Amino acid sequence: MSRSYLFIPGNTPNMVQNLDIFESDAVIIDFEDSVMSYDKDAARILIQNFLQKFPLQEGTIYIRINDVENSHFEADILATRDLKIAGYVLPKASVEAIDKLNQLSSGLSIIPIIESPIALLESKQIATSKNVIGLLFGAEDYTKEMGIERTLEAKELLYPRSHIAVVCRAYNIEAIDTPYTAKDDDAGLQQDAMNAKALGFTAKALIHPNQVDTINRIFAPSPEEILQAKRILKKSEELQKGAFSLDGKMIDLPIIEKAKKVLEKAQKYGL
Amino acid sequence: MGQNNKTQKPLVNSIDELFAFIDIHENKNISFHHHLRNGDGVINYVLNKYLQEEIMDLNLFPSSIFPAYTKILELIENHQINDITTNYCNGGVAKYISQHGLPGTLTMQTHGGRARSIQEGISKIDIAFIAAPYVNIYGDAIGYDGKSSFGSMGYAIVDSEYAKITVLVTDHLVENQIENPEILGSNVDYILKVDSIGDNTGIVSGTTEVTKNPIGVKIAKNTSKLLFELGLIKNGFSFQSGAGGVSLRVTKDLRDIMIRQNIKASFFSGGITKYHVEMLEEGLVETLYDVQCFDLEAVHSLKRNKNHVPISASMYANPVDPMQVIKDLDIVILGATEIDLNFNVNVTTDSHQTIIGGSGGHSDTASEAKVSVIVSPLLKGRLSVIKDRVTTITTLGKNIDCLVTERGIAINPLRQDLINKLKDSNLKICTIQELSELAYQYTNKPKDIIKRERIIGEIEDRTHDIIDYLYQK
Amino acid sequence: MKFTAGSLESSDCLITIAPSEDLVINIESVVFEQFGDDILRVISETLKLHKITKLNVLCQDKGALDYTIKSRLETAIKRMGEQS
């Protein structure tokens, strides 16, 4: 149910020990792209000691391990599977890679990254794999493999985004959008996040802590949505009927369920 | 019109020429202002003469000491200085005094306290050397015109009024009348014309940009939330912030709230930056009371905005001045190098007992403002900002109401009224002891390394009370 | 043959170890006076945990917390072990 997923470089003590300050709903401690290959052992040991010393963190912690082809894949999992984490973010995801991860990881949640054309085509199978709780769209690697330019306007991402959002909705898992990489561009970030939300994404990943507030605000239910949800549930309790009319619109069970989820989110985010 | 009684002032063209008229051996208490900050060209020029003439037993009264004032250090090393009385001290002079002390005493005052001491005759100044960017032949002066304009002359005005001898040092002398002069010719004795009084781009210190550091951003966000929840952001409120990156970010966040909620402030006071000017010109605040300009946009604004008003240090912060502007201050946002469990704040020394600053207006504004807020990261590297006892007390805890850090907010128990208002807040409010314990969970408790063997200076509050001492490192 | 781990970034430390006939620990820290004892303790305890009694250790500290000092030392030890 997290709205924001903040990447934290896993070998940078200054960021690691402050990971709970940024008020992101979830944090992804990164062992992959932000850690040099010769320091990946250092990152594992740093995070082991950090989470053992400070196990109680507000906010959900994931670790982006190295991909299944990488020599560090197994070591990453063995070093962290007994720590207090919610699960793993798996780059270059495939059904086989998820299998291998499940074999090693003792039932922790998995968020596969869809960052290639093949993964996009396989996203249904990936989404329904064991322990998968969401999909993260990785536009950087995706556009690289497609051989296309990534633009701020993001028309080239419309199809993969829509596809992922549909798959996630269909299988009732989280749809997490790709980070908006332009720094200090709050207007651009807002537009990008709203576009993602409009397509059905439930959350957005980010690398700049200053983006947390905007993303949390956009992916939270709005005050109007919350009010409406309260009204629907109130009337539902009063009438004790499965279907009724409110403001001239038909309210049935799916809509009542959605209203319940909205209030659950609002509670969780303190709105 | 009506200026017939103005007399032209004696004009000299070098410091040597000046001392043909004044006895350099008799007038040992000399003062300077620091408005050109690190771009000042007058202090070194004047003091070089004292260095060359080997004048001994000097007592200096600079309103602040910046790293560029190297001649002060040379005079100290030459054993020519007795006492120094100032409001802020940083750089080579500060390091030296921290290590060695002075033959006499280093007295650290506040901006308001300095004005008061001069007015009450406690600080007796023989010669006030006043760098002035725009002077006329009658000795009237303003700070916001001329090639070296630096803005408000706030710290120099009391000196001009009470010093035995007042010397204006200028690089821009005119013959015309000056409307509303900041320094009155009737208080001036000599005009010293030089090629340049300094570099006015030096008034921009490194900290006058809104912070982008995520921790600073969070602290600022929580501060503006706190102020809003305390009901302080409402039409007609008054506000002052320091020039640090976090304080400026708070100012920026407040601006957003004020625009959204259609709120107009009555005044901003203190050191003025382009951010304050912007808000004046957007109609978000009625008046700017300027005791010093922190950037050139503020200087230009003084010239063109009639509601941007230069004020003297006395009118700004002298506790016995009936016009004291900050007596009506609602909110002040301040920094700290350290704060202790009694909310005493240190901005004078670092944790290694090196002098790195001084009150400036810190203790003044904290004493007068209805709510004073300290903004600081809880952890700076491995050092917690919260100590059991600060290395040096700059501002007394009873005048500090809130501490906002990235990991929580502490309210002074003396302010039950504020604590009550925050009962249902979503903000993380804790006691300062709890915040301190939290910090130690990360860092462990540090060893107490403060030496208190030899006193090298005193911290004098605006009440004339000595509230702490400086000790040799 | 030296082995290192960590960095001189703020809140980190650079640990350099080398095989030695004795136990030699040198600490340079930006907070030496306040935390020098703590840093020594963490290094000693970590060596004890790994049953190391002879080693030359240099810790160049930029305000690292205990868990970081322990981690960087353990990483250097691991790298030394992989060499042999």
pLDDT tens figures, B200-233 = 998 886 567 889 999 999 999 999 999 999 999 9
Q: Which domain holds residue C43?
A: 3-83
List C-alpha distances in Å: B93 to A7, A233, A257. 45, 70, 70
C34 inside 8 A of chain B by CB? yes
Span B370-399, average pLDDT: 97
Residues 6+ apart with CB under 8 A from B204: B294, B295, B296
Judge: C10–A14 Cβ closer than 8 Å, yes or no: yes
Q: What backbone phi and psi angles, to 5 degrees, belong to B48?
A: -60, -35
- Of the pLDDT bands very low, low, confident and very high (cuts 50, 70, 90), residue B143 is very high
From C46's Cα to the closest Cα of chain B, the distance in A is 17
> Which of these, B277, B267, B271, B291, lies nearest to B182 by C-alpha position?
B291
DSSP B83-149: EEEES-B-SHHHHHHHHH--SS-EEE-BHHHHHHHHHTTSS--SEEEEE-SEEETTS-EESSSSTT-
Instruction: Tell me the pLDDT band of B1, cut-offs 50, 70 and 90.
Output: very low
Nearest CA in chain C to B443: C65
The answer on pLDDT for B244 being more than 90 is no
How many residue contacts between A and B have a Cβ separation below 8 Å?
20
**Chain B neighbors (3+ CB pairs < 8 Å):** A, C
How many domains, chain C?
A: 1
- Identify the structural domains of chain B with CATH numbers, from first to last: 11-203 (3.40.1080.10), 214-450 (3.40.1080.10)
Please state, in angstroms and rounded to a whole number, the distance separating the CA atoms of residues B112 and B62.
14
Rounded distance, CA A254 to CA B2, Å?
86
Percent of chain B with pLDDT over 90: 94
Tell me which residue has tokens 């601006």: B255
C78 touches chain A (CB under 8 A): yes
Cβ of C72 within 8 Å of Cβ of A42? The answer is yes
Per the CB < 8 Å rule, is C35 touching B351?
A: no
Confidence of residue B5 (pLDDT cuts 50, 70, 90): low
Residue of B210, B211, B215 to mutate, interface with A, max A Cβ within 10 Å = B215
Residue extents of the structural domains in chain A: 4-219, 223-268
Q: Are B227 and B331 in contact (CB under 8 A)?
A: yes
Among chain A residues, CA nearest to B381: A14
Angle between helix axes B42-52 and B70-77 (nearest 10 degrees) is 20
Q: How far apart are CA B348 and CA B330, in angstroms?
A: 25
Length of chain A counted residue by residue = 271
Give the tens place of pLDDT for each residue, B410-460.
999 999 999 999 999 989 999 999 999 999 999 999 999 999 999 999 999
Q: The dihedral of CA C35, C37, C41, C47: what is its sign?
A: positive
How many Cα atoms are found within 13 Å in the side-chain-facing hemisphere of B293? 28
**DSSP 8-state code for residue A116:** S
Q: What is the pLDDT of residue B345?
A: 98
Residue where the block lists tokens 């007596």:
B327
Asked if A21's CB is within 8 angstroms of B406's CB, the reply is: yes
**What pLDDT score was predicted for residue B3?**
52
> Are the beta carbons of C35 and B447 separated by less than 8 Å?
yes
B250, containing H or E segment: helix B245-261
With CB atoms and an 8 Å threshold, state whether A213 touches B221.
yes
pLDDT exceeds 50 at position B88: yes
pLDDT-derived band at C26, boundaries 50, 70, 90 = very high
pLDDT in tens, chain A (271 residues): 899 999 999 999 999 999 999 999 999 999 999 999 999 999 999 999 999 999 877 779 999 999 999 999 999 999 999 999 999 999 999 999 999 999 999 899 999 999 999 999 999 999 999 999 999 999 999 999 999 998 878 899 999 999 999 999 999 999 999 999 888 899 999 999 999 999 999 999 999 999 999 999 999 988 888 999 999 988 888 888 778 888 888 888 888 888 888 888 888 887 7
Yes or no, beta carbons of A53 and C67 under 8 Å apart? yes
Whether residue B407 and residue A213 make contact (CB cut-off 8 A), yes or no, is: no
Judged against a pLDDT cut of 90, whether residue C76 lies above it is answered with yes
CB B274 within 8 A of CB B295: yes
CATH number of A4-219: 3.20.20.60
Q: What angle do CA B170, B176, B177 make, to 5 degrees?
A: 95
CA C76 to chain centre: 8
**Is B231's Cβ below 8 Å from some Cβ in C?**
no
Chain C: closest CA distance from residue A57 (Å): 16
Which of 429-448 (B) contact A at CB < 8 A?
A: 442
**In the predicted structure, residue B2 carries a pLDDT above the cut 60:** no
Burial of C21 (0-12, 13-18, 19+ CB in 10 A): exposed
